[in-house]
Structure 1
Amino acid sequence: MLLKNLKIARTGLRWNSSGVQASRSKARASPLTGHYVGFGLLAVTMTGLVYNDDMRQRTVETFLIAERVGVVAIATARCFAMYLKTLNREYDTKEEYYQALSKTHKQAAETTLQALRKNGGIYIKLGQHVSAMSYLLPPEWTNTMVPLQSECPESSLEEIKEMFEHDMNISLDDYFLDFEPKPIGVASLAQVHIATLRENGQKVAVKLQHPSLERFVPLDVELTAMVFNAMKKVFPEYPLTWLSDELRQSIFVELDFRNEAENAKITADYFKDYKSLTALRIPNVHAAKRRILVMEYVSGTRLDDLEYLDKHNISRSDVSSCLSHIFNNMIFQAGFVHCDPHHGNLAIRALPKKKNGHNFEIILYDHGLYRKIPSQMKVDYARFWLAMIERKPDQMQKYGKKFSKIEDESLFPVLAAALTGRDFEHALSGNIATPRSEKEIEVMKRALTDEGVLLDLMALLASVPRIVLLILKTNDLTRHLDEALQNPLGLERTFFIMATYCARAVYADDTARLREKWSIFSVHRLVGSVTALWNLYSRIFLLTLYDVVFYLRELL
């Protein structure tokens, strides 16, 4: 605006004859007056910048904000131009169109990647979110964003010390006996250092939010929303506003580490009774502030480090089973779900002797993002999976639509494929217990280049409730982990474990409905209770039988 005003003023002096003449006639009396005024203003401004910290800080922040806005605006304009050029061209063959669209996806993703790297912060978080949606978005986008999983900028020790003293009212050196200056992990929102408490000598992990986020997150959230709203206007067929909506809803919750401390405690208390099924370990929290979290230090190795598992004689199928119990329990029983279970938030460590039937512990970190699943949605989701496993297409469609709140029947095949991570043929037939073949993977990749499928997918993602998107994300991430483990028992056992939780959720709902509708002495209630019990235990019996067969197969 300042440059624009200067340009207008300059133009006015040059071309407005009467104004110029008047100005010049006055200027002849003292030709250097204007220069003196200009130099005076410049001197006052520079003096303010040198001696006024607040003014200097505001000026620096203004330039930084302008730079961030510029990065986003330029990247957005370039991507728009790429897609408009590709989509408005005419092609001789469908294959030529697919190739052009794939190339554009790749170019746009690379342009976006550079912008996300440049701005950092929640833009890195957004890129990580995209990279995790490999079953939902074109591979050109998801694969390009993968480097962001391990390329997060590190905050300086000076910034960390200043923030710590401000938030904790005590210096870093007075609080800790020892503090490792190099973080053991750096994420998009925070970094983690190892330290030793001065009060008792306990070794702890200290999670510290990047101080710069305090200034830029509100702006970045609005910028992201503006970009996706602009995309919706230019490309109404490809609505992506759900991404910015989810970011707006979740980011401020994640940035308050007191929420994370509470979630960790709730989850740890809940899973105390399920150690034999889950082998789950959640670090205890020592202290929590809005931007600082001090917790028990529990080290581990990546869950998919197969060499480590084999070296310590840890059963891959046992690890897979525990993972399945953890997240299916969260979804179908607790209804309180960890929504970011990627490789960096899960670890495994070997135990010198067995504990709760396992020679390992699965460590779950980063409890900043949890969601509660509404009771009816949880039951409808369970009924959908039971219908899928029992291959009942009509029931699948009925409960899939109820669970996801979609009204357009044409979107159901896309929903089934997104939930299962399988192609349409396998998803709609319920044939999902076998591993994906290379051919199926290729079919799925090609499907995401088909304009009709892509339009349906975008419509689906834009219409389902936000909690459904997070469940889809959790499904994708846990499926990736399970595949990375190369479980010798295959996917069948994973689905059987899930089916057990689904059966129990449905049984609880059936009996609750009977209690509401009929008195305790009613024949209808008695018959309904027996039927519900039979459905539950017949399913559990079959699942237990399959489990025994798989166990014996692993031994042999």
Structure 2
Amino acid sequence: MYLSSVQRFKEIIKILAFYGFGHIVDSKFNEDKAPENLRKAFEELGPTFIKIGQILSTRPDILSEPYIKELSKLQDSVPEDNYNDINKIFFEEFNISIEDAFLDFDKKPLASASISQVYSAKLHNNEEVIVKIQRPEIKEKMNMDLAILKKIFTLGKIKTFDTLIDPKDAIDELINATNLELDFTNEKENIKKFKYFNKNLKCIYIPNTIDKYCSSKIITMEKIHGFKITDTKSLDELKYDKKDVAHKLAISILKQIFEDGFFHGDPHPGNIFIREGKICYIDFGIMGTLTSDLKNYLNEAMFAVAFKDVDKLISVLLSIGIKKGYINKNNLFEDINYLFDIYLSTPLKNIKMSSMLQEVFQCANNNNISLPKELTMLIRSLIIIEGILEKIDPNIQILDIAIPYVKNNNKINLFKNIDLDELILNSYKTAEDLSKIPTKTIQLLNSILNGRSKIQLNVNNLDRSINELNRMINRIVFALIISSMIIGSSFILNSNIGPKFYDISIIGILGYLIAAFMGFWLLISIMKSGKL
């Protein structure tokens, strides 16, 4: 039975504190080991935190690289749920028992993950399927843990680990990501969308969904018989051309990024199979989406890399990024140019596309340009794909294929997005403006020769500067008057002239008093201005 929220609250604080994330930091914990300690804490906190950690490992926009790397090691090691509990969920979703819905259903799960279990089954038409069923009350448990975690951060009960954004905002992002992953209808829609984009690629296969047994908690799809794409032994035994397989996989991922704007967010070897000569993708819970503008800018960026156009690449970075502060374009140019010199002086086959993009994005970040979070998932996917390609064919590099692919793709789509009416209208306006240039030039020259030309100079905050200067001059004059009065009064007292009081010149004393009053007034005026 799951703990009450109060008990769970205490347990989470206790375990996080034990691993060095308490309100009072234990000196026995080395700061360098914080990422490892966070992973251990998540493992001890159980399935919900393991899933939270796995989601965080896909979000470099939330956590820094050391934490991402460490949380990527989190593995599901969760005991199986009771079959009767699973059957109960199935009945609640479809008003039919598992026994009646399927001709055969293996009660032993193929896989047991933190939020779901995967079973092998057979429909009444003998079609083999896999059924992914959410664990009982997992959504409620995860929401409770996330709510507790948010409360802990709000109360400042634990030491904040290295988040790149405000911890409470990070928890909100995490809640959104978790809710998306816990709704299996999103995965079903991802499958259909991915299938649509790849319908004309004969070398790619995506399993069909069995819609009548799909809901927010359950997804049923065609079972894929095959072997992992990195199983080089099977590739050799079945006489596959490994170079061809690697090339097709590279083309597939490039199409997803530069044409579809919809790419697999977790393309590890366990999610890509080979079946009957085709590359089969499975598990569409995590997908990356690029807006039309972002996709076009990525194409332009690759075009800029292909032609070593530093200015174009900087223009793209400024277009897609968010300004965090002052941007020194000269520094940005030098940084990007330096990268070009390093990378493009080497053969393309020796360059990792993910590494190059990472360094370009790091240059942007170092120059106060924050890039969209979708690009961090893109880099993560590219890193995984490059690892797969290296295992299949060590001589292939995705960048070596990407540049000619993008060049060709841009040639094909050069006029695709042009509005003909807008083009004609702009051409007419340009021609009209050009025809006026000779006349306008002659008018300008005549005005200059006749002395009729005026130049308007607009200096920002000029009035304010003049007022400041006036105040400064007034204070100097005032100070000179005070000085004169002090000197004059001193002469009068020394000469002892004029009416006297106790044999002291009244005029001299009065001069001192007036000078003191004026000096005090000047001092107050300067202090009030804040420019003492």
TM-score for both structures, normalised by structure 2: 0.65
**CA distance in 1: counterparts of 2:393 and 2:24, whole angstroms:** 38
Number of aligned pairs? Answer: 420
Q: Which residue number in structure 2 is paired with residue 541 of structure 1?
A: none
The answer as to 2:442 corresponding to 1:516 is no
**Aligned partner of 2:350: which letter?**
P
Instruction: Please state whether the residue corresponding to 2:280 is helix, strand or coil.
Output: strand
Unaligned runs of 5+ in 2: 432-532
Q: Does 1:160 align with 2:160?
A: no
Match of residue 202 from structure 1: 127
The structure where helix makes up a greater share of residues is 1
What one-letter code is carried by the residue in structure 2 that aligns with 1:493?
D
Q: How does 1:309-458 map to 2 (within 5 A)?
A: 309-349=235-275, 351=276, 360-408=277-325, 426=339, 429-431=342-344, 433-435=348-350
Matched, 1:296 2:207: no
1:306 maps to 2:232: yes
In structure 2, the residue matched to 1:503 is 410
Does 2:152 correspond to 1:212? no
Deviates more, 1:159-168 or 1:397-406: 397-406
Q: 1:329 to 1:309 in 2, by over 3 A?
A: same
Match of 1:206, SS? strand
Instruction: Give the Cα separation in 2 of the matches to 1:236 and 1:348.
Output: 40
Residues 258 and 138 (structure 1), Cα distance of their counterparts in 2 relative to 1, 3 Å cut: closer
Task: Find the counterpart in structure 1 of residue 111 from structure 2.
Answer: 185
Structure 1 residues 464 and 314: alpha-carbon distance in aligned structure 2, compared to 1, 3 A threshold: same
Q: Which amino acid aligns with 1:435?
A: N
The 2-side partners of 1:280 and 1:329 are apart by 15
Aligned to 2:10: 70
d(CA) in 1 for partners of 2:328 and 2:179? Answer: 32
* Paired amino acid for 1:291: K
What is the TM-score when the length of structure 1 is the normalising length? 0.63
Q: Which amino acid aligns with 1:171?
A: S
In the alignment, the residues of structure 1 paired with residue 327 and residue 157 of structure 2 have an alpha-carbon distance, to the nearest angstrom, of 24
Relative to structure 1, is the Cα distance of residues 81 and 289 closer, same or farther in structure 2, using a 3 angstrom cutoff?
closer
Instruction: Verify the 8 A CA contact 2:349 2:399 in the aligned structure 1.
Output: yes
Quote the Cα distance in structure 2 between the aligned partners of 1:109 and 1:236.
Answer: 9
Q: Which residue of 1 aligns with 2:385?
A: 478
**Structure 2: how far apart are the matches of 1:174 and 1:118?**
39
Q: Give the whole-Å Cα distance in 2 for the aligned partners of 1:411 and 1:319.
A: 45
- Offset of residue 118 of structure 1: 3.1
Q: Which has the larger radius of gyration?
A: 2
- Deviation per residue, 1:395-419 (Å, 9 max, x gap): 2122023223345577999999xxx
Partners of 2:368 and 2:106 in 1: CA distance = 48
Percent identity for Structure 1 against Structure 2? 23
Contact 1:391 1:429 in 2 (8 A): no
**Matched residue SS, 2:319:** helix
Pair 1:253-2:170 in alignment: no
Matches of 1:342 and 1:323 in 2, distance apart?
12
CA distance in 2, matches of 1:212, 1:414: 53
Q: Is the 8 A contact 1:385 1:502 kept in 2?
A: no
Per-residue displacement from partner, 1:239-293 (whole Å, max 9, x unpaired)? Answer: 3646534422232222222222222122213311122xx4333334343111111
Q: Residue 488 in 1 paired to residue 395 in 2?
A: yes
> Closer, same or farther in 2 for the Cα pair 1:206/1:181, shift >3 Å?
same
Give the Cα–Cα distance (whole angstroms) in 1 for the partners of residues 179 and 254 of structure 2.
27
Task: Give runs of aligned pairs for residues 243-282 of structure 1, distance below 5 A.
Answer: 243-275=170-202, 278-282=203-207
Q: Quick one: distance in 1 between partners of 2:350 and 2:177?
A: 34
CA RMSD of superposed structures (Å): 4.6
> Counterparts of 1:486 and 1:232 in 2: how far apart (Å)?
47
* Alpha-carbon distance in structure 1 between the residues aligned to 2:153 and 2:161: 10
Q: Which amino acid in the other structure matches residue 314 of structure 2?
A: Q
